[in-house]
Each structure stands twice: as structure tokens, then as C-alpha cells.
Chains A and B, each alone.
Chain A
Amino acid sequence: MADGASSDAFVEFERVQKSYDGETLVVKDLNLSMPKGEFLTMLGPSGSGKTTCLMMLAGFETATHGDIRLDGTSINNIPPHKRGIGMVFQNYALFPHMTVAENLAFPLEVRGLGKSEREEKVQRALDMVQMGAFGGRRPAQLSGGQQQRIALARALVFEPELVLMDEPLGALDKQLREHMQFEITRLAHELGITTVYVTHDQTEALTMSDRVAVFDDGRIQQLAPPDVLYERPENSFVAQFIGENNTLEGVIKEIRGETCIVQLDDGEIIDANPVNVTEPGERTKVSIRPERVEYNMDRLQEGAHTLKAEVLEFVYMGDIFRTRLRVAGNEDFVIKTRNAPDQVRLKPGQQIEIGWLPQDCRALDA
């Protein structure tokens, strides 16, 4: 993956800042570089600056400082209609007074394409999203999922190299959303288009993207492929934001290369993997995924530190069991176990011991 100002980058943000009121920065020093054909998701809570970034790329907001480049040329001063970027909006923004076919023909018409060529491309785009028979309908006569497909087809019909999507699946129900996630990634890869996708739904980000940029407080907190993001979060914000996560607070006692010893606030000692902590004596938040917690002591390594825990709640969720524990004073410590035939079902009140592999337990900034 390219980084910095590498020459094969297709989309580049270089030291981009954005302020609406001249007092606070919504986007602080953004650097990002995407190669051609990548599916990149901007993920973050609302107000984290991700949508502002998308709008700057589309040309609807101007960067207060910095440079945005598309295929090597700075687009800061190019108006949106000359950028040739396809965009799918949150509520689709299908023109209600035009039919579906007219909606799709619109970008071709303003580009001066002839009638027969237009019709051909419109039909091809409709077929691509399996809506070939709906050209004569009005957007209001379509269901949410169908409108979504049309919006996608409209953004792709003029064959842009870059497509932006602003929470396009937000208005759909769960099942349809999952189906469309698959559909969109399939199309993006088939057509080889570069995609910037904005969402606050982490599942969407993880399942669809080549890389995910996690936004918070106007900065990219981590930019990595989904598996790296989930398994090796670089700071406690990313660890908390992506997936379910257990946090224990303490102080670094000792760092020995790949592992470190952490003394938790109630005095217990655990093993952890130092990520962005450097000095003994530093405060830390250690983070461990619920499915990486082990309570079958046979599976733990020799000499591993363990913790006492009390079962508070057991929830049967079908494919998994979700058990809430009290661990080192934390009553929201969750473990998840697969519903396998030999799996033990813990009961509230039960006293158990838990442990984990040191590399699964990440000591992050406090």
C-alpha cells in the first residue's frame, strides 16, 4: 500500500485542514493516499470529519489549507461538475421529477452524448444493477433498495474512475443492507473503480473495504486493512471503536521486547503486548477481544498470568454465548464462546479463572 506522496497514488490528501468558523478545525492535518482501484472506507463517529473529507474530495467544500490531488493534478480549484467523480448520496438524491431512465441519462446529456448512445449506456447501467425493466418508473414508485440500486447506477453510468459513497446504505433494513454491501463491492471490483466509502457502521467498513481509515477528532487514527484494524488496533480509540472490546486500566511495570507486565489498578498482574507504550510507570489501557479470552486453563501457555473472575450474566445468542464477568473491578468484561457441543455454559455466581495469550492483550495509551 502506498503512503505519503508516492507517485502512483490516484487520490491524495496532503496536509489538508478544514475549518468552517475560523476557530475550530473539523479536519486536522489529513494525509491520505489511495492507489487506483482501491476500496477505501472512511469510518468514524458523527462529527469526526469523515463526511467533510468526502465533500472536499467531491468539491462541495473547499479545503482551508492543503492540497487534494486526483491522478496527480491538484483539484482544489476545479468546480465539482468538472471533476468527473461519481457520487452516491445518503438519501440517494434521485431527481423526483424525472423517470429512472431520465435520471440515468442526465449525466450523459450534460456531457453532450447523442440520444442512441445515451439510451444504450442507460440500459447497460440498469442491467448492471438488475433494474433493466424499471427505466420508465419514477423514483417514488421504487422501494428503498431499488432506489439505492438506481442511485448506484446513476453514479456509474458516465464511467467515472472515482466513486464516492456517503453512507449509501443507511436507510435500508439489515438484510437488504448486507445484500447491497456485497453487491457494491462486487461491482466496484468488477469495474475496477476507485471507491471512497463513508460510513459509521463498522461491520460495513470491515466487510467491504480493502483499507479502512478510522476517523476521530478530525484525524485519521489508523489506516489499515480490516484484519489489521481489528486484531492490531494502534490506539485505544480504534480498539474501542472497532468491534467489541474489554478494557482494563493499569500501570506498566516492565517492558521486555514483545511483552510487558502490567499491574492493574486493583493490584493484579497480567501479561500484555506493548503497542504504543514505551516507559515503565506509564499508565495504560489494556485491550482484549471477548473471543480471545480463555477460561480453559489447559489451553494457556506455561507460566501465563491469570485473573479471578465472577460470572454475572450468561446470554444465549444462538451461534455464540455471551458471558458478562466481573474482572479486576470491571463489571462489563465480556467473553464470547462458540456454541460447540462440548462448550461449557457458565452460570451466574460461578467463580472462574481467565487468561489469554500475551499477544492478544494489547497495552495501549491511556
Chain B
Amino acid sequence: MAHAETDAQGRILAADGTPLKQSLQRALRAQKMRALLLIAPLLLFVVITFVMPIGDMLLRSVQNKAGTHYVPDLIPNVAEQIEDWDPASGELPPEEVFRAMVVDLQVAFDEKNHTQLGRRFNYESPGMDSLFRTSGRRVSGLDLETDGPFREALIDINDDWGDLEYWATIKANSGYYTNSFFLAAVDMERDSTGIAQKDPDQRIYRKLLVRTLWLSAVITFCTLLLGYPVAWLLADLPARKANLLLILVLLPFWTSLLVRTSSWKILLQQEGVINDFWVWLGFVERLSLINNQLGVVIAMTHILLPFMILPLYSVMKTIPPSYLRAAKSLGATNWTAFWRVYFPQTTAGIGAGGLLVFILAVGYFITPELVGGADGTFISNRIYFQFSAIGNWGLAAALGTIMLVVVLVLYYVYDRLVGIDNVKLG
């Protein structure tokens, strides 16, 4: 080092006079290219099947689309005319807006888009679906030259065109982007006076979100409680026995998730094995173990248990038994030796297992769907319902985005509290 050549800027030079850094980079370039080529297939796969769908989801949560078209592209004239109208004035929009609606609806009807529009607005104000569906044909029969004024004409076709709330909804959702899906996802809505909470009996998503997080936390705790001793036993046994037991831990993975969940149904139901045994023991009342939160916790704890045991095991295996012996030789009781010496060294495994189980649980779908009943469903079940049964992709995407953000926030908090470097998966 002391005798290495340097150039005018003080950079160290290689033997041929090029800067050492540049020379090193050149030497490593081939190696880097080869590494890149090796990961390219997976990278491509992840980008196409993971990053792009998530990006699409994030976009859909704010895009104001009816079917495949943006709403303002379907009602361009209305979108332009309604801008100056203030719903707070308490008056219906001016004649130009009604005329614009007739013009846009005629085009939409010709291209068979008016029902999509109706469904889009219906998400915000129930009833607008039928308003658009029923009005389509009759509006297309109007003559723009002769049949004005169109305010009366439209109200004549359907009284609901005179409803101020409906026009407010149209105004609020006439842009390319909207926050209405996110508002709906947190049980809020926009009425003529601004943004407000939904009626208490219509609030579901916040409750579902809290329930999902709470049950996931309970499940994580249960897997820790059951998995910790098992992992310890595994780490303590000689390799041959440990491997055999490890296979037993992994055995559930060889059975379909659906089969495992269904078998819990058989075990836990009213006339199921456990209840029959309960009654045989002499109890009169049968337990309701399924189609509620208890059922979800039992079944998911079982299903997610390996994800807790494996990281714990891999961490515990690296802790030599001499630590416990040392603690005892220094005068610690079994419990003190465990709690002060062994346990602190396993926190990395608890962190890894806990994070893994919690994040898996938060997104779980099949098990809560099958054994959750009415009060045991997770937010993922609602997301599925929104896009498969209702077709409201925007709301489903907004809910998904919120879940993503919540998990990322939790991850961040965890990182600040525990430090992600302390997490060991193997």
C-alpha cells in the first residue's frame, strides 16, 4: 500500500497505470454478467407474475374505470359541463349538463357501455345501476334537436334523474382518478356535504381488517406456544431422530391444504369426532368449534405450525448445549438458565417464525372461507367476494393495497423494534 502509485486525484493506480477501481471493475465484469444471466429467468418470472400484478392492483385502486373504459371517456360531455356545478347549492345541475348526459348516453347505448356506467356509479349510490339500465333505450330515442329541454325529458323517463344525490355522485366520479374506492375500503363515503363515515350498520371493512390482524396475532402466538417446545426437542435430539421427527413436522405439506382444512371440518363440527367424544365424556352441551373464530384459530394454527417450527429449529440448532450447562454451573436454576440464557438467543428465530406466520395468516383465504363461518372470515375473503361476485375490482384493489401497506408498516415497526438483521431463517 505504502508504495502504490497514485494519480493526481490521489486514486491508487494499478500496475498498467489505470485507476485501481476501474481495473477491478473490469476484472469483475465477466463474473457479474454471468451472475446476472443465471438469475435472469427467475427475475423475469418474478417481474411478470409478481411485480406487474401488484403494480396493476395499485393502479386499479385509484383508476376510475367502468368496465374497461375510464368513466370520463364514456361521458366526456357531462364530465366537462358538470365541473361548474356545485352540489352544495341544493339545486339540480343546469340544462347543459342534462343535455350532455343525453348526448353521452346515446353514444354509450350504441356501444353498449351504459350498463357498465350504471354499475360503476351503483358502487357509490345504490340504485344507479337500474337507473342507467332502464334509461338507456328511451334516451337513445330522444331527438337532440326537438326534444328539449332535456332536464324535464330525463326526469320524465325516470324520476331518479331529479335526485340531487345521484348527480353529486356523477360529479364526484367523473375524473380519471378517484379516491372513492379507498374511502369505501375504510367505511367512508362522500355525500353532498363532503366525506363522512358510513352508517354504523354498513361499516364492515375496518372491523374486518382489525379482526384479520387480531386473529393473525392470536394464531402466531398459538404457533409459537406449540412450536417452541417441539423445535427445542428437535434441536436437542441426535441427528437421526431429529431428522425423523422433522419429516413428521413437514408431513402436512404433502397433503393438500384443502384436504387438511376439510378434515378439521370433520373433526370440529357439531356432530364431529371431538364433539362426540365430549358428549361421551358426559357433557350435555355440544361445543361450537367451527364456523366461528375459534375454528379459524384451531385450523390455521395447525396449518401454519411448520412455518414457526422450522426457523426456530434452525436457530436453536446453532446454540450449543454448553450455554445451558454454563448457566447451571454458575448457579442458575433450570428456569433461570432457560429464561436468561437460552430464550434470549432464540429471539431471532421467534422473530423470523412470527413474521412468517403472521404475514401468511394475514393473507390467508381458503381456511377462513371454509371454517370461518360469518364471524371468522378474513379481509381476503371479502376481497375475493368484491372482485368475483360484485366485480368491483377497484374496491378489491383498494382493500388489497391497504393490506399491503399495513403489512409493510408492521414490517417497518418490527425492523425498528427488533432489527431485521436479527431475523434468521436458516
Contact = CB atoms under 8 A, between A and B. Distances in A.
B341 A86 contact: no
Contacts of B328: 59-60, 79-81
B314 interface: no
Contact of B332 (A81, A85, A87): A81
A53 interface: no
Contacts of A95: 323, 326-327, 341, 345
Given A107-B330, A111-B331, A97 B345 contact: yes
B325 A89 contact: yes
B322 interface: yes
A106 interface: yes
A23 B344 CA distance: 39
B322 A91 contact: yes
A206 to B, nearest CB: 27
Contact of B330 (A59, A97, A154): A154
B340 interface: yes
B197 to A, nearest CB: 48
A275 B267 CA distance: 78
Nearest to A111: B331
Contacts of B340: 106
Contact of B345 (A59, A80, A81, A96): A96
B351 to A, nearest CB: 14
A90 interface: yes
Nearest to A164: B329
B158 interface: no
A61 B325 CA distance: 11
B320 interface: yes
A106 B322 contact: no
B336 interface: yes
A158 interface: yes
Interface residues of A, number: 27
Interface size class of B (residues with CB under 8 A): 10 to 19
Interface string A64-103: 0000000000000001111111110111010111000000
A58 interface: yes
Nearest to A79: B328
Given A106-B340, A110-B336, A93 B322 contact: yes
Interface string B172-183: 000000000000
A58 B322 contact: no
Contact of A110 (B320, B322, B326, B332): B332
Contact of A81 (B323, B329, B344): B329
Interface string A175-195: 000000000000000000000
Instruction: Give the most central of A83, A110, A155: most B CB within 10 Å.
Output: A110
B318 to A, nearest CB: 11
B331 A81 contact: yes
B331 A84 contact: yes
B130 interface: no
B333 A80 contact: no
A80 B341 contact: no
Contacts of A58: 325, 329
B332 A86 contact: no
A83 to B, nearest CB: 8
A363 B341 CA distance: 54
Contacts of A158: 330-331
B331 A93 contact: no
Contacts of A93: 320, 322-323, 325-326
A125 to B, nearest CB: 13
A91 B320 contact: yes
A317 to B, nearest CB: 37
Contacts of B344: 97
Contacts of A111: 331
A91 B326 CA distance: 11
Contacts of A110: 330-333, 336
B223 to A, nearest CB: 24
Contacts of B333: 81, 110
B329 A85 contact: yes
A95 B326 CA distance: 9
Contacts of A60: 325, 328
Nearest to A82: B331
Given A96-B345, A97-B345, A106-B340, A90 B322 contact: yes
Given A95-B341, A110-B336, A89 B330 contact: no
Contacts of A84: 331
A91 B319 CA distance: 12
B163 to A, nearest CB: 67
A303 to B, nearest CB: 59
Contacts of A107: 330-332
A110 to B, nearest CB: 5
Instruction: Give the most central of A90, A95, A107: most B CB within 10 Å.
Output: A95
Interface in B300-333: 320, 322-323, 325-333
Nearest to B343: A97
Contacts of A91: 320, 322
Interface in B330-367: 330-334, 336-337, 340-341, 344-345
Given A85-B329, A93-B323, A164-B329, 14 more contacts: A81-B331, A81-B333, A84-B331, A90-B322, A93-B320, A93-B326, A95-B341, A97-B345, A107-B331, A110-B330, A110-B331, A110-B336, A154-B330, A155-B329
Q: Nearest 10 CB-CB pairs, A to B?
A: A107-B330, A93-B326, A87-B329, A93-B322, A80-B328, A97-B344, A81-B328, A110-B331, A110-B332, A89-B322
27 contacts: A58-B329, A60-B325, A80-B328, A81-B329, A81-B331, A81-B333, A81-B337, A82-B331, A84-B331, A85-B329, A86-B329, A86-B330, A89-B322, A89-B325, A89-B326, A91-B322, A93-B320, A93-B323, A95-B323, A95-B341, A97-B344, A106-B327, A107-B330, A110-B330, A110-B331, A154-B330, A158-B331
Interface of B: 320, 322-323, 325-334, 336-337, 340-341, 344-345
